[in-house]
Chain A
Amino acid sequence: MRLKLKIWRQAGPGTAGRLVDYAADHVSPDMSFLEMLDVVNEGLVKQGHDAIAFDSDCREGICGMCGLVVNGIPHGPDRGTTVCQLHMRRFRDGDTIVIEPWRARAFPVVKDLVVDRSALDRIITAGGYVSVNCGGAPDGNAIPIAKEVSETAMDSAACIGCGACVAACKNASAHLFMSAKISHLSLLPQGQIERYRRVVAMIEQADAEGFGSCSNEGECEAVCPKEIPISNIARMTREYFRALWVGGR
């Protein structure tokens, strides 16, 4: 396959970036999207040019490190898929592909397609933890919890913190990410101690980081590689109501 690529190049955080055209001429349909970029980079390095910077780690859709906006959709056209799990067979010979970084005030560009997502870490630090000593693995039946509840918690825990929800949202809101973490912890017995403090602290932190609010469009849910539903955002609001009622910290 031969592809035309338009890739965002930006030297550093404060500088202006722009789309640069590249040709990818020897692309196999079996390659992953990131392997395709690796090949482009090899060519660039051979010619003595600067390689295109992009993030990745596990390359199997579980770590949340990768993240590119491919033709206007974070993580590309496939639903429930990280961009490292996107394959070139999804494209056709001669296609033009526009590749941009996550764009949000809270995610400053480090270089090219790499953005600083530590704002999400600070949201977790603000409340996404449990302070009970978990000790050894408890007996499965010792913690009474309904199957549907534990499954909903588990589905929320599947969030890999990639930030695609922020990238997709017209308001660059982190509500889906926060709501996944808050749902995961508030549904489980271990998360009860900080339950009310957590939701308030995480929301305050996200607002302070400069993420936007939520307009209930659900673009986030559509691009989330773990298909976290926006029903979690409604749950986060209910948790917020409860915290308000109980009085918070």
Chain B
Amino acid sequence: MSSRFGVFSSSVGTKILIGVTGVALFLYLVIHIAGNLIVFLGPAAFNRYAFVMEYGNPLLPVIEIGLLLIFLLHVYKAVTMFLANQQARPVAYVKKKYAGKPSRKSFASSTMIFSGLWLLFFIIIHVKAFRFSPEYPWPAGGRDLYRQEMENFVSPLTAGFYVLSMVVVGSHLWHGIASAFQSMGADHPKWTPRLLTTGKVIAVLMAGGFIVIALWAHFVGART
């Protein structure tokens, strides 16, 4: 092996990196949705949560930069892999069909690059709206994130864009959760079939959860 670093540019090393960063991003998403659900407890609880996460947290810059790097690595590796894979079959089939079970191919698995790029676009807008926009102060400390969120979801266009993007998140996770483990070499006769199902259930719950929050903010929260 020429260098331990060059290993990660091989086809298998690339998979490992996309899988590992994918799992890390997924874990972040779990924390994210858990925090977001606090919105249902009202402005005081939600803003208190935001305050603890943002102001009482000396690790915040490290986490933010780490997350950004993980995200960029995931995107970079996935895009370069996609482009290289396109090269691997210069002449397309005239007719190509789904080969049937036990293939795991799905609409979600076939569109990972597109769902991924959509999410890249979404995340830029999303981070701009909640991290780099004017804030309202909250008397008990920190910012009034609750109000910021409700104002964000007033527009049906924004709410619609968020709902659609969360469907895309669900699609990405539908294939991505189990796929990430396979990419890292994790496989077990009993646990892999369970993981395949669990991954899909989590994908639906995750997308569903975010969608409920967005719809609630649009129809209920923003009007009260």
- Residues of A that sit less than 8 Å from B by CB: 6, 8, 17, 19, 69, 71-74, 79, 98, 100, 103-106, 168, 170-173, 175, 200, 203-204, 206-207, 210-219, 221-223, 229-231, 233-238, 240-241, 243-244, 247-249
Q: Separation in Å of the A213 CB from the closest CB of chain B?
A: 4
Q: Separation in Å of the B176 CB from the closest CB of chain A?
A: 9
Chain A residues near B89 (CB, 8 Å)? 103-105, 170-172, 212
Q: Separation in Å of the B205 CB from the closest CB of chain A?
A: 22
Are A19 and B94 in contact (CB-based, < 8 A)?
yes
Cβ of B41 within 8 Å of any chain A Cβ, yes or no, is no
Chain A residues near B85 (CB, 8 Å)? 170-173, 212-213, 215
Chain A residues near B15 (CB, 8 Å)? 213-214, 237
Interface residues of B in 39-85 (CB under 8 A from A): 81, 84-85
Are B185 and A237 in contact (CB-based, < 8 A)?
yes
Are B1 and A72 in contact (CB-based, < 8 A)?
no
Chain A residues near B4 (CB, 8 Å)? 244
- The contact of A217 among B96, B109, B185, B187, by CB within 8 Å, is B109
9 closest A-B pairs (Cβ-Cβ)?
Answer: A248-B1, A72-B97, A237-B185, A234-B187, A212-B88, A222-B99, A171-B85, A222-B103, A172-B88
- Report the separation of the CA atoms of residues A172 and B186 in the bound assembly, to the nearest whole angstrom: 23
Question: Given A231-B192, A244-B1, A247-B1: A71 and B97 within 8 A (CB)?
Answer: yes
Chain A residue nearest to B184 (CB atoms) is A237
Chain A residues near B27 (CB, 8 Å)? none
Are A219 and B103 in contact (CB-based, < 8 A)?
yes
Are A206 and B11 in contact (CB-based, < 8 A)?
yes
- Report the separation of the CA atoms of residues A237 and B186 in the bound assembly, to the nearest whole angstrom: 9
- Report the separation of the CA atoms of residues A123 and B103 in the bound assembly, to the nearest whole angstrom: 25
Chain A residue nearest to B90 (CB atoms) is A105
- Report the separation of the CA atoms of residues A247 and B4 in the bound assembly, to the nearest whole angstrom: 8
Cβ of B87 within 8 Å of any chain A Cβ, yes or no, is yes
- Residues of B that sit less than 8 Å from A by CB: 1, 4, 7, 10-16, 81, 84-85, 87-105, 109-110, 112, 175, 178-179, 182-187, 189, 192
24 A-B pairs (CB sep. < 8 Å): A17-B91, A72-B95, A104-B89, A106-B88, A170-B85, A170-B89, A171-B85, A173-B11, A175-B12, A207-B11, A210-B87, A213-B14, A213-B84, A216-B179, A218-B103, A219-B99, A219-B105, A231-B189, A233-B182, A236-B12, A237-B12, A237-B183, A240-B7, A241-B185
Are A218 and B105 in contact (CB-based, < 8 A)?
yes
- The contact of B186 among A203, A218, A234, A236, by CB within 8 Å, is A234
- Report the separation of the CA atoms of residues A170 and B92 in the bound assembly, to the nearest whole angstrom: 10
Are A223 and B99 in contact (CB-based, < 8 A)?
yes
- Report the separation of the CA atoms of residues A172 and B178 in the bound assembly, to the nearest whole angstrom: 21
Are A69 and B93 in contact (CB-based, < 8 A)?
yes
Chain B residues near A233 (CB, 8 Å)? 182
Q: Separation in Å of the A211 CB from the closest CB of chain B?
A: 6
Chain A residues near B179 (CB, 8 Å)? 215-216
Are A213 and B182 in contact (CB-based, < 8 A)?
no
Q: Separation in Å of the A172 CB from the closest CB of chain B?
A: 4
16 further A-B contacts with Cβ under 8 Å, apart from A213-B84, A217-B105, are A6-B94, A69-B93, A72-B93, A72-B96, A103-B93, A203-B12, A204-B10, A212-B88, A213-B85, A214-B11, A221-B103, A222-B99, A237-B12, A237-B15, A241-B185, A244-B1
- Report the separation of the CA atoms of residues A207 and B84 in the bound assembly, to the nearest whole angstrom: 10
Question: Given A231-B187, A234-B185, A241-B185: A100 and B94 within 8 A (CB)?
Answer: yes
